[in-house]
Chains A and B, each alone.
Chain A
Amino acid sequence: MAHQLRKSHPLLKLVNHSLIDLPTPSNISYWWNFGSLLGFTLLIQLASGVMLMMHFLADDSLAFMSVAYTSREVWYGWLIRSLHANGASLFFLCTFLHIGRGVYYGSYLNENTWNIGVLLLLLLMATAFMGYVLPWGQMSFWGATVITNLMSAIPYVGDSIVTWIWGGPSVNSATLTRFTTLHFLLPFILMATILTHLIFLHERGSFNPLGLISNADKIPFHPYFSAKDAMGMALATVLLMTLTFYFPNLLGDPENFTPADPMKTPDHIKPEWYFLFAYTILRSIPNKLMGVIAMFASILVLLLLPALHTSKRQSMSLRPLSQLLFWVLIADFFILTWIGGQPVQNPYTLIGQTASFIYFFTILILLPLTGMIENLLIKPLRYRPYGPWKIPIMPTWGN
C-alpha cells in the first residue's frame, strides 16, 4: 500500500525489516542489549576517530606531538581523544559481555552468526592493537615491538614475516604509517562484517533466555526494543562520560605519556586491560611458538563451542551445574586479566599457568561433560497423549 512506504521502498524496507517490524522474542533480557550497544560504540569510535585523524601526523618524529597538539590546542580535542581512548574500553567491555551472553544462552548454535562474530572479535583486536601504536608513546612502541616479534616464532618464514610487517629491521616510521592506514581501514571492513553478522542473525531471529522456540510469542522490535536499546545506550553513555570526564587516564598506562625511545625499554611492558587475559596465556608457556599458538587458541576455541555442546537444552538457564562452571570461567577470566598486568614473578607465574589451564580445561572438557551429566538428570520428553496434533511439550532449537 502506498501509505506504508516503509514496507515498499527498496531502501526503507531494509530498515523496516531490521529495526521496526522485526519479530523479536518478548522475553529477551538486558543481556541482549549489548549487540546494539556495540553498534552504538562503533559509531562513537568512527566519529571520534575521523576527527582525530584530521590532526594526526603519521610520522615517528611528529605523531606524539600531533596527539599532544590535538589534546591541547584543537577545540575540544581533549574530549575527542578521551572519548576515543575510553570508547575502545567500552567497546571491549560490551564485546566480552556480548560473548558471555552467547556462551551462557547457547547462541553459538546459530553457527553462521557465531563464526562471523569470532571474525569480528579478531578484526576488533587487530584494530585496537594498531590504534594503540599511533600515539607513539613508550608503551605504544614497545607493545608493538613485543607483539609483532611473536610472529618470528613461526618456523622458517617467521623472521621474514616480521620484517615485512615492520617495513624495516625494527618497529619504525614505516610501521607507524602502515598501522595508521590499516587502523583507518579496518573499521569499515568491520562494519561490512557486522552487516553479514546481522543478515545471518535475522534469518532465524534472536534467541531468548529460555532457549525455547519463541515464534508463538514475538513482538515488534519498534517500539519495545528500540526503547529498551535507547535506554541501554543512555546508560552506556553515562558510563563512558564518567570515564571520559572524571577518570580519563584510569585505564591507561603512564608510560604512554613518554615519547617512544627505542633505546630505553620500560620496566613492565603490558597491553591495555582488554588484552591482558591473552597476554597471561601467552606468557604461561615457556616455549615462544607454543605460547603464541595458545594465545590464538584462546580466541579460536570459541569456534569449537557448537561442536562441544552436549546438552539437550540450548540455554544454561535451567542447568545449575553448567551455570556454576560458567561463573568459574568468568572468575578465571578475571584472574587471567589480573595476572596479565603483573610482572613475571612468583607466585604470579604459577597462578597464571593454573588459570590458563583452567580456561581451556573448562571449555574443552568440563562444560561438555557437565552437559552430558545434566542430560541424565532431566525427565524424558513427553508428547501430548491426546489431540489432533503430536508435538513435544518442550521444543528446542536444533530439532
Chain B
Amino acid sequence: MGPEFGRLAYVRHVITYTLSPFEQRPFANYFRVGLPNTWRRFRSSVFRVTPPFVVAYAVYSWGTEENERLKRKNPADYANDQ
C-alpha cells in the first residue's frame, strides 16, 4: 500500500558523498553562516508577511477608539446650554 523504499523512483548516475560525523565539527558555522542566512531569509519574506498585519492592527486600533468615541457625548452639542 502506497510507495515504499525500493519502488519510489529510478534515478541513475547520481553519486553522493558523505563525511563521517566523527570527521567533522558539530554545529559547524552555526553562527558565522547561520545568523546572516537567517537575516537573508527574514528580509526575503518580511514584506510579504507583515503588511497585512500592520493594516489589521491599524483597523483594530481605529475600531476600538471609534467605538469608545461613539459612546461618549460630544461637548460641542451642549456648549450653549444654560
A→B interface (CB under 8 Å):
17, 21, 23, 199, 202-205, 213, 215-216, 218, 220, 320, 323-324, 327-328, 330-332, 334-335, 338, 342, 345-348, 351
Given A323-B48, A324-B48, A335-B60, decide whether A216 and B1 contact each other with a Cβ distance below 8 A.
no
Are B4 and A23 in contact, CB atoms less than 8 angstroms apart? Answer: yes
The answer to the question of B21 belonging to the interface, with a C-beta cut-off of 8 Å to chain A, is: no
Report A331 CB to chain B, min CB distance, Å: 4
- Find chain B residues with CB under 8 A from A204 CB: 2-3
Given A216-B9, A347-B66, decide whether A324 and B52 contact each other with a Cβ distance below 8 A.
yes
Within 8 Å by CB of B48, from A205, A327, A332, lies A327
Within 8 Å by CB of B3, from A215, A334, A347, lies A215
Are B8 and A218 in contact, CB atoms less than 8 angstroms apart? Answer: yes
- Complex Cα spacing A331 to B9, Å: 40
> By the criterion of a CB under 8 Å from any partner CB, how many residues of chain B are at the interface?
24
Are A216 and B8 in contact, CB atoms less than 8 angstroms apart? Answer: yes
- Find chain B residues with CB under 8 A from A323 CB: 45, 48-49
CB within 8 Å of A: which B32-65 residues: 45, 48-49, 51-53, 55-56, 59-60, 62-63
- Find chain B residues with CB under 8 A from A213 CB: 9
Within 8 Å by CB of B52, from A17, A205, A328, lies A328
Report B42 CB to chain A, min CB distance, Å: 14
- Complex Cα spacing A23 to B5, Å: 6
- Complex Cα spacing A220 to B8, Å: 12
Are A327 and B59 in contact, CB atoms less than 8 angstroms apart? Answer: no
- Complex Cα spacing A348 to B60, Å: 9
11 extra interface residue pairs, beta carbon distance < 8 Å, beyond A334-B53, A347-B63 = A23-B4, A205-B3, A215-B3, A215-B9, A218-B5, A327-B49, A327-B53, A331-B55, A335-B60, A345-B70, A347-B70
- Find chain B residues with CB under 8 A from A17 CB: 1-2, 4
- Find chain A residues with CB under 8 A from B66 CB: 346-347
- Complex Cα spacing A213 to B5, Å: 15
- Find chain B residues with CB under 8 A from A347 CB: 62-63, 66-67, 70
8 tightest Cβ-Cβ pairs between the two chains A and B: A331-B52, A215-B9, A331-B56, A215-B8, A328-B52, A202-B2, A327-B52, A216-B9
